Amino acid sequence: MSTRKGFFVDIERCIKCHACEIACRVWNGINVPSYRTVMEIENGVFPRVERTNVSIACMHCEEPYCMAACPTKAIYKREDGVVLVDKDKCIGCRLCSWVCPFGAPKYGPDLKMQKCTLCSDRPDWMPRACEEVCPTGAIVYGTVDYLEKVAKERKGQRLISLLRGKKAALYILP
């Protein structure tokens, strides 16, 4: 059993209301950038138009590019799989944000990088800030095994990061 944790984002449910972004900021400090980004993609021609919304945060990858790229080894992977930034070591060079396929690390007002900590300061019984607020229940947090189960139920797929096939801990509906 893997202890690695991550998010499942159900794009069938995401409405791009940005509540996850704001919840992240309210919990982590309203002066920091949100660790989540919400986007929409439009396809088709009137009247057959489709829009897809998706909320993206750090995937806490198995082998994170950001960690590999960090020149001062400020980015590290905790035993439970959570990828974190050691602010003492970070020099704010932003290399991590360039190599991350998801644009997850953000440059903060303290001139250091910041990123999703999987709400490490919340106990396990408490939902993550973004998950807690999502009004449509699009965001689910849990162990990779649990997410595999949720993904199967909701006909979701694991998102494989493109370059080297390193598994990212996010699941998304097709």
Partner 1 sequence: METVEKLKGSKMVRSFCHVCPFRCPIEVYVKDRKVVYTRGNPDNPNTRGKRCVKGLASIWLAYDPDRLKYPMVRVGERGEGKFKRITWDEAFNIIAEKLKEIKEKYGPESVVSIDHGQGCVTFYRSFLYLLYGSPNVYDHTAACDATFDTACITLFGTFWAIEDYENAKYILLWGKEPLEAPRIVGFLQGLMDARDRGAKLVVVNPRLSKTAEKADEWIPIRPGTDGALALAMAKTMIDEDLYDKEFVANYCYGFDEFKEHLNEKGYTPEWAEKITGVPASTIRRIAEEFATTKPAVSSAYHGFACYTNGFDSMRAVLLLNVLTGNVDKPGSLLLTGSPQGLDPPLNPPIKVPEEERAKIEKPSLREALGFFVAPDLPSALLPKVILEGEPYPVKALILSQINPVMSDANTKLWIEALKALEFSVAIDIYLSETALYCDIVLPDACYFERYDILQGFNHSPMVLYAEPAVPPPGEAKPIYEIVKGIAEKMGYGKYFNWKSEEEWMRNIIEGLPFTLDELKRKGFWIGNPKYRKYEDGLKTPSGKVEIYSMLMEVAGHNPLPEFKEPKVVPDEKYPFRLISARMPFHANLVTQNIPMLMDIENENWAEINRKDAEKYDIKNGDYIIIESPLDSIKVKARVTEGIVPGVIAVIHGFGFGHWSMGNTARGKGANVNKLIDTYVDPVSGAVAYNECKVRVRKA
Contact track, partner 1, 24-43, x by CB under 8 A: -xxx--x-----------x-
Verify binding: residue 103, partner 1, rule CB under 8 A.
no
The binder of partner 1 chosen from 39, 68, 91, 126 (CB under 8 A):
126
Q: In this complex, which beta carbon is closest to partner 1, that of residue 11 or of residue 69? A: 11
- # residues near partner 1 by CB under 8 A: 34
Verify binding: residue 174, partner 1, rule CB under 8 A.
no
Q: Are 4 and 144 in contact (CB under 8 A)?
A: yes
Residue 121: what residue type? D
Verify binding: residue 137, partner 1, rule CB under 8 A.
yes
In angstroms, the CA 20 to CA 35 distance is: 9
Tell the smallest beta-carbon distance from residue 120 to partner 1 (Å).
10
Contact track, partner 1, 3-22, x by CB under 8 A: ---------xx-xxxxx-xx
